[in-house]
Amino acid sequence: MKALMALLRRDLGALLPGSSRGNSLLPLLFFLAVSMLYPFAVGPEPELLAATGGGVIWVAALLAAILPLDRLLAPDVESGFFDQWALRGIAEEVVVAVRLLAHWLSFGPFIIAAAFPASALVGIDGPTLHVVLLGLLAGTPGLAAIGIIIAAVTVGLKGGGAALSGLLMVPLAVPLLIFGAGSLSTGGESGLALTAAISLVLVAIAPFAGGAAIRAAREG
Amino acid sequence: MLARCAYIALTQNAMEPCRLAATELACRRGDRVLFSGLSLALEAGEALQVTGPNGTGKSSLIRILAGLMRPFAGDVERAGSMALIDERLALDEHLPLGSALDFWQKLDGCGVPDAALATLQLQGLLEVPVRFLSTGQRKRAGLARLLNSGRQVWLLDEPLNGLDDQARGAVEALLALHCGGGGIAVVASHQPIALPGQKTLHLPNFTA
């Protein structure tokens, strides 16, 4: 338990916005920048913006979740942290599970908070914002889980890992996007429930998939 | 000299003697078999130097003994807690050395790092971010992490690289103390190093 807290504290220190590694404010700014650019690109008609704004927030959240992927696990594998943990009997699965929590904490709540100014920028109304917020709450853990699995799978790649993670993330996130953003048009709870269900499954398998991928990379 | 962490290691030894044995090990990298038919057995208090030119599999042997790499053939039998030092420091580059070491001290439950720091002359560097340390200083930082872990079986991959004569003497003294306290040390190094018992294993003898 003490070890878990030490791991979580280190992870949060490295991943939270404004932390010592310093550049993790970028996903948040990126998210706001996309929401700001959208009205400039499609024009200021309120009806068009209100009808499509929620979907744009979802796409922006997905893209923002891609940004931290190459720094998520690879530096710790390269500098020998995972070897040292293995020697101490701390399983890769445990480390990945803690990292998943830290990764979500470092972008999920901030994206949800940033959805308020973003909703004003793309001009969506209160009830729609309500569905967007619930959807992001249900969907961002799933996005974090996909992200961590991809970060683990691409851990052994020297160079080009960042671009590849982005490419892998997009198709895998499609189900979350369909149900998460789809709940906007149906206004409904079934979409949100399905989003949450997909998220739960992803969160449950991510530590095991990630741990196996890191062990496989070590053997190589 | 080595305060409480070394003491913890000693009391652990007293309860449960450590042992490291390998039988008929073979290691393959890509298409090449680096070595085969390698057996060794180390009891508490023994040290072994693994020698051989570059590329003969010293590091691979260390990783196999640590359980981080599967041998191509053979078995490794381990009793006791293991510690590894290799060229990868496992300290956060952007953090000051003190905080970076602190993370491992929390995990290993060791609260008395001062003695190790004094032996390795690191006290003056605690505020310096790890990425600004020189090669030799990095090596000494890794050794401080090793000492604080209070582990019984030390696996050291080229621990003398980049160290000056004084630090080299300190490492030899630490190894003597560790083995004297019932620990085991396996040191892969192409440089001469004074070890208790002066047991050596020349890897080219086991190449196919």
- Mean of pLDDT over chain A: 88
**pLDDT at position B76 over 90:** yes
pLDDT at B120: 83
Which amino acid makes up residue B24? E
**pLDDT at position B4 over 80:** no
* CB neighbour list of residue B94: distance below 8 Å, 6 or more residues apart: A20, A21, B129, B130, B131
Question: ∠A128-A132-A134 over CA atoms, to 5°?
Answer: 115
d(CA A136, CA A59): 11
For residue B76, the distance in angstroms to the closest alpha carbon of chain A comes to 15
pLDDT band at A22 (very low <50, low <70, confident <90, very high): low
Mean pLDDT for the stretch of residues B50-58 = 89
Q: Take residue B44 and report the two structure tokens written for it.
A: 């508490």
| Alpha helices (H) along chain B | 3-15, 58-66, 97-108, 114-119, 135-149, 165-180
For residue A215, the distance in angstroms to the closest alpha carbon of chain B comes to 9
Interchain pair B88, A80: CB under 8 A = yes
Residues from A contacting B (CB-CB < 8 Å) are 2-3, 6-7, 10, 14, 20-21, 78-81, 83-84, 86-88, 90, 218-219
Return the percentage of chain B with pLDDT > 90, whole number: 37
Mutation site, A84, A92, A215, A218, interface B, largest B CB count within 10 A = A84
B29 lies within 8 A of chain A by CB: no
Measure Cα distances from A161 to A123, A151, A154, A165, A166 in Å.
36, 9, 6, 6, 9
- Mean of pLDDT over chain B: 85
For residue A10, the distance in angstroms to the closest alpha carbon of chain B comes to 8
For residue range B88-116, what is the model confidence (pLDDT) as tens digits?
A: 999 998 889 988 988 988 888 765 557 77
**pLDDT at position B123 over 90:** no
Neighbours of A53 (CB within 10 A): 27
pLDDT at A133: 93
Measure Cα distances from A171 to A23, A147, A179, A184, B72 in Å.
26, 12, 14, 20, 38
B76 lies within 8 A of chain A by CB: no
* Closest Cβ opposite residue A87 in set B84, B89, B93: B84
Nearest CA in chain B to A78: B88
Q: Please, are residues A140 and A108 in contact by the beta-carbon 8 Å criterion?
A: yes
pLDDT at B55: 85
Return the percentage of chain A with pLDDT > 70, whole number: 95
- Cα–Cα nearest to A149, from A205, A78, A98, A105: A205
pLDDT band at B7 (very low <50, low <70, confident <90, very high): very low
Interchain pair A6, B93: CB under 8 A = no
Nearest CA in chain A to B93: A79
* CB neighbour list of residue A5: distance below 8 Å, 6 or more residues apart: none
d(CA A121, CA A129): 12
For residue range A70-125, what is the model confidence (pLDDT) as tens digits?
A: 889 988 999 999 999 999 989 999 999 999 999 999 889 999 999 999 988 888 88
Interchain pair B66, A6: CB under 8 A = no
For residue range A145-187, what is the model confidence (pLDDT) as tens digits?
A: 999 999 999 988 876 677 888 889 999 999 999 998 888 877 6
Q: Please, are residues B203 and B22 in contact by the beta-carbon 8 Å criterion?
A: no
**pLDDT at position B148 over 70:** yes
- CA A35, A40, A41, A43 torsion-angle sign: positive
**pLDDT at position B13 over 80:** no
pLDDT band at A48 (very low <50, low <70, confident <90, very high): confident
d(CA B24, CA B33): 13
pLDDT at B1: 38
Q: What are the structural domains, with CATH classification, of chain B?
A: 3-18+42-68+79-206 (3.40.50.300)
Measure Cα distances from A79 to A74, A152, A198, A215 in Å.
9, 15, 33, 15
Considering only CB atoms, which chain A residues are within 8 Å of B82? 87
For residue B12, the distance in angstroms to the closest alpha carbon of chain A comes to 15
